[in-house]
Structure 1
Amino acid sequence: MKTMKNFLLLLAAVFSFASCEKDEDKIYLSSIQSGELVATESTVVLSQENSNDIVLSLAWTKDALQISDPALSAIDVIIQTLQVSTTQDFSGVVSENVETSLSKAYTGAALNALAKNIGANPDVANNVYFRLAAQTGKNMTPVYSNVVTVAVTPYTIDMSLGYILNADKAETDVTLYSAASDGQYLGFMGATAWYNFFMKEGDGTVWGNDGVTGTAFLMSSEESSWNFWFPGMGGCYYVDANTNKKAWSALYIPSLTLTGDVAGTMTFDRPNVKWTYAFSAAQAGNITFKVNGTGRLYDSSTGTDGSDSDANLGIETLVSFAQNGENLIFGGEAGNITVNVPAAGECTLVIDLSNPKQWTVEVTSGSAEPEPVRETLYMLGISEGEGDWNFNNYLRLYDEDNLGYAGVADVNSPWGYQIAIEEGNWGDVYKLGEGDANAGTLAFNAENNIPAPDGGLYFFDVSLKNLTYTLTAVGDVIYYSGFNDNWDLHPMVATEMPGVFTANITVDTETSKGFQIVLDMGWKVSFGGSKNLLFYRKNDNAANVEFDSTIRGTFSLMVDVIKGTYILE
């Protein structure tokens, strides 16, 4: 009724605006005149190949109220709803969408999803009916346009798989599995710390983190959504993404323990999503064992804090496997698992979790345990004081796939520097392959030190997989961005302490996506993180620094880019 009252008030305003020569002069408002609806196609055959193409467009004229005095015009208060159904009289399932423009275009994926939702049969032609319903209020009887019929042949949508997309929404080869095709997707992922991603369903719906609240582990398919992210520990995660509940969880499994005919702690092969254990078999034949562990569950109730305390933040959860024929099942009580050892000697027990439809276990001949990934590299001699070298300057792992390490150092290195892979180990170091102080290649235990630039602050980016290094100078000013949802660069000034910068910040509106620390005007180097630790965001592989969007006030922000820390008070 509120809509009708508003309409009558607007109509009264129109009448009062015009002066009548006689009290008996009357102005009449007719009912809605229906618009005309047209379609660009009468037949559409859909396929995966044209899922991203525009396959059908609709256009219509504006439904309008008519007024008897041509000198006046009726105020536009009409609600137009596009209705779609597989029944000509629209008695079956009807898709309704309020339209504010005079046209609508469908991609193949969008039309295919629409056809599925209204009950169209896949792989055969279905008559799909379109019409416009016009109303002056939601409680008013609508006026309908002409009905347009389009023969649509949808393709079968496989809703059993959820496809993991990277931060740029590009395809990866990782999937989660919904056995009942009911919107709950399960599976294991080998994730690096702070790995962030999206998930796409078979109907093309892309899910990300809820961008309105910014709460970790809540899901949204709206355009405002942004990427999901894992906690600050890399390794094995059991993922449960439920599109019906619009929530997901990540069960972190730091280790698995074997008991029985083989006993020990397994090693996780993150890139291949496998757990392995090397052992010496006395003879060929069957062995029986159990697999147990203790994980930590992260969901919307726990969130993540982005620091080492993430390991204690999740909910302690017992994990185990049991055997079901040739496959493994996860959860519940640990069950006996029996596998065949092919031959005596060195063997490797492999639990393969890479295929979400089928988790398997086997024993192979030979030893195949992966090398552990180091979390830290040390720059020997980069900040020389009184002639001594030490392990005080370090780079932190940010990209496990490429063994990428990054950090800032206050350079004072007259003799050049070396990159050590282990604290206290002076023998296993990388030195100069080719290059200069700004960029080049590394060589293991080479002859010459890596040349250092002139003294000052520098950001280091090192890849042990590609054996490369690059440096970026850090000036006397760095920047913060994101407070008050303002993504301009705001300066932070240097203090007397090398690498420490400060700024005073007033927060008077919502800060919905956290903030970043940026080292340069070109956004080449930026940091996210949480709980007083900063993380390099190369290719957006770390979340923004967390900030409670409800907080208001004036804050003092202090950043130490060498230690990779911040304090916000």
Structure 2
Amino acid sequence: MKTIKHFLIALMSIAAFTACEKDGDLITLSGLEQSELMATESTVVLTQETSAEHALSLTWTTSTLTVSDPTMLAPNVLSTTLQVSASEDFSGTIQESVESSLSHTYTVAQLNTIAKNLGATPDAATPVYFRLEASVGANMNPVYSNMITVNITTYEIDMSIGFILNSDQEATGATLYSADSDGEYVGFMGATAWYSFFLEEGDGTVWGNDAVSGTAFVTSSEDGSWNCWFPGQGGCYYVDFNTNSQNWSALWIPTLTVSGDISGELTFDRPNVKWTLPFTATSTTMTIQVSGTGNQYNNATGTDDEAAIDTPVAFAQNGSYVELVSQAGDITVTVPQAGDYTLTIDLSDPTAWTVEAVEGSEEPVVVNPNVYLPGVDDGISGNWTFDNALPLYNEENLAYAGVVNVNSLWGYTINIERDNWSDNYLLDSGDATSGTLVFQGNTNIPAPTAGLYLIDVSLNGLTYNLTALGNEIWVVGLDDQWNFNMPLTATATAGEYSGQITFAGASPWGFQIHLDSSWNRYFGGSSGSLHYRGSNITDDASLTAGTYTMTVNLIAGTYSITQ
């Protein structure tokens, strides 16, 4: 009869305090009590400059539901909703969020948007009220916590700035600019290949991709939108993001050349969005021209490099700043005296692009697109070479990863540049599968048993991890089936896997290549190239339903789909 009691308590839990009766026993659910709500602040002054920082945290206690029969567990029916209102009696508009933990933290931008939507006047302290609503059933009266009052001073929402968020919708510090606050945001960005991002407007609206395969430059602010992504070329991009026409474009600028009193090819400092060129000044006033040719990607071209449109790029003087033009104009550069300087074109602030000469001739720090593994395959090649490289996949962590056919006799090193034997990372502590690194150490990283491995390295974290690959990998996401039922099998070629894939139609999310069932080790890609943890592959959108042969080479980072 205990099975019947379990069934009845689950069935009747929606009504919370109802009960079932068996042999005269009454089983009841109890314990719903008023939560205690607490806030870290009672007065908050919000500013646009600190929009990404934390402004207010709320914490609370929760009820512990119990069943009168100690042999039974209470059903998980407690629902907690955080309510925010501009009125003390919570009449009128209420902002709500369903909570699954015991705290909620608002950023400055989030709190500013909530207060604005509740009618708060900018630059004036306005009381805003918070409380918790707890319930255990739709037909039961909820229980409310104590009420917290927070006096919030909001700022006028600036619709001239578009904030760049990463793929997790976290602030990056990068911005685009809308001079007329009309929804068209432009500016320069330093992006890695396939960099993913969202754009957030001043009112909190977040824009991403429209979540339709094959429409890389179409945008949407609807829930469920994907992140936008750049093409497979890293470097300097001029971005035009138009929320009115719901599309964006990316003009990739591979090189810029200086001519006139200073001449040479500029180097792009991607993290700082600057172009630089060391030079020696022989006079205090110089006239230069800056120009180049970019590749335009947009709705028509997609991320196809061959379809990208050659576009002239140049700069001209406009008062104290420079502007982007199609034909180069004269730009005046002044220095206090003759000597060594670095010409710097700073494009990081979309409201003020500048050209100046900075004293000294330091080269910018360049993030290398690959690291190399001398010694990792000398059991095959017979030599220590720079033939095995790990591509960059996370710039913030300086994380590199790739699949390598390891057969090492003496261990190996991690070198930051091709043919540079001295600048490398070696073993600090660890074993053949994981450990920590030290720059220019004394001990090689120990090699595992010969075989195929995913090697994942973080130079910021000073860590390395190796994962052995088996005879199968998996295609996940075709037909929107996110399981491990479509294997590819290892061929006689090291790193190559092949097998049949069958699908009825395009997946709304694309698909991935998974190395195992951990969900963490996978490849995305496009146009036949694989990228570790890259955007999902969307080739299924251009194929008719049917059965195909898919072949991937994890070492070369390639894939093909043939019928």
Same fold by TM (over 0.5)?
yes
Alpha-carbon distance change, 467 to 104 in structure 1, aligned in 2, over 3 angstroms: closer
Q: Cα distance, 1:378 vs. partner?
A: 2.6
Q: Cα distance, 1:242 vs. partner?
A: 0.3
Contact 1:112-1:203 within 8 A present in 2 as well? no
Contact 1:421-1:428 within 8 A present in 2 as well? yes
In structure 1, C-alpha distance between the alignment counterparts of 2:402 and 2:153, rounded to whole Å: 55
Contact 2:393-2:532 within 8 A present in 1 as well? yes
Counterpart residue number, 2:64 = none
Partner SS, residue 187 of structure 2: strand
Q: Cα distance, 1:554 vs. partner?
A: 1.0
Q: Are 2:502 and 1:506 aligned?
A: yes
Could you give the per-residue CA deviations for residues 508-550 of structure 1, whole angstroms, max 9, x where no partner exists? Answer: 023222211111111121111112211011xxxx211232425
Q: Are 2:288 and 1:326 aligned?
A: no
CA RMSD of aligned residues (A): 3.1
Q: Are 2:291 and 1:287 aligned?
A: no
In structure 1, C-alpha distance between the alignment counterparts of 2:336 and 2:153, rounded to whole Å: 52
Contact 1:217-1:249 within 8 A present in 2 as well? yes
In structure 1, C-alpha distance between the alignment counterparts of 2:499 and 2:116, rounded to whole Å: 50
Alpha-carbon distance change, 343 to 466 in structure 1, aligned in 2, over 3 angstroms: farther
Alpha-carbon distance change, 271 to 110 in structure 1, aligned in 2, over 3 angstroms: closer
User: Which stretch of structure 1 is more off in the superposition, 104-113 or 414-423?
Assistant: 104-113
Write out aligned runs for 1:355-504 (5 A): 355-383=349-377, 384-385=379-380, 387-426=382-421, 428-490=423-485, 491-504=487-500
Alpha-carbon distance change, 357 to 502 in structure 1, aligned in 2, over 3 angstroms: same
Contact 1:504-1:554 within 8 A present in 2 as well? yes
Write out aligned runs for 1:535-550 (5 A): 535-537=531-533, 542-549=534-541
TM-score, reference length from structure 1 = 0.72
Alpha-carbon distance change, 51 to 260 in structure 1, aligned in 2, over 3 angstroms: farther
In structure 2, C-alpha distance between the alignment counterparts of 1:275 and 1:446, rounded to whole Å: 33
Contact 2:112-2:154 within 8 A present in 1 as well? no
Contact 2:95-2:114 within 8 A present in 1 as well? no
Q: Are 2:515 and 1:519 aligned?
A: yes
Counterpart residue number, 1:20 = none
Contact 1:218-1:248 within 8 A present in 2 as well? yes
Q: Are 2:557 and 1:558 aligned?
A: no
Contact 2:162-2:177 within 8 A present in 1 as well? yes
Q: Are 2:338 and 1:339 aligned?
A: no
In structure 1, C-alpha distance between the alignment counterparts of 2:499 and 2:266, rounded to whole Å: 47
Q: What letter matches 1:565 in structure 2?
A: T
Runs of at least 5 residues in structure 1 that lack an aligned partner in the other structure: 1-44, 59-82, 85-102, 127-151
Identity of aligned residues (%): 51
Alpha-carbon distance change, 191 to 54 in structure 1, aligned in 2, over 3 angstroms: farther
User: Which stretch of structure 1 is more off in the superposition, 407-416 or 355-364?
Assistant: 407-416
Q: Cα distance, 1:112 vs. partner?
A: 6.4
Contact 1:57-1:104 within 8 A present in 2 as well? no
Contact 1:499-1:560 within 8 A present in 2 as well? yes
Partner SS, residue 271 of structure 2: helix
Counterpart residue number, 1:253 = 253
Q: What letter matches 2:209 in structure 1?
A: N
Q: Cα distance, 1:390 vs. partner?
A: 3.4
Q: Cα distance, 1:153 vs. partner?
A: 11
In structure 2, C-alpha distance between the alignment counterparts of 1:313 and 1:521, rounded to whole Å: 37
In structure 2, C-alpha distance between the alignment counterparts of 1:520 and 1:370, rounded to whole Å: 39
In structure 2, C-alpha distance between the alignment counterparts of 1:111 and 1:446, rounded to whole Å: 53
Contact 2:214-2:538 within 8 A present in 1 as well? no
Contact 1:239-1:250 within 8 A present in 2 as well? yes
Alpha-carbon distance change, 320 to 476 in structure 1, aligned in 2, over 3 angstroms: same
Contact 2:500-2:547 within 8 A present in 1 as well? yes
Write out aligned runs for 1:42-441 (5 A): 54-56=83-85, 105=96, 156-283=156-283, 285-305=284-304, 310=305, 312-383=306-377, 384-385=379-380, 387-426=382-421, 428-441=423-436
Contact 1:346-1:366 within 8 A present in 2 as well? yes
Counterpart residue number, 2:5 = none
In structure 2, C-alpha distance between the alignment counterparts of 1:255 and 1:156, rounded to whole Å: 39
Alpha-carbon distance change, 449 to 550 in structure 1, aligned in 2, over 3 angstroms: closer
Runs of at least 5 residues in structure 2 that lack an aligned partner in the other structure: 1-42, 47-54, 59-81, 98-109, 127-151
Q: What letter matches 1:331 in structure 2?
A: V
In structure 1, C-alpha distance between the alignment counterparts of 2:326 and 2:382, rounded to whole Å: 59
Alpha-carbon distance change, 419 to 509 in structure 1, aligned in 2, over 3 angstroms: same
Partner SS, residue 385 of structure 1: helix
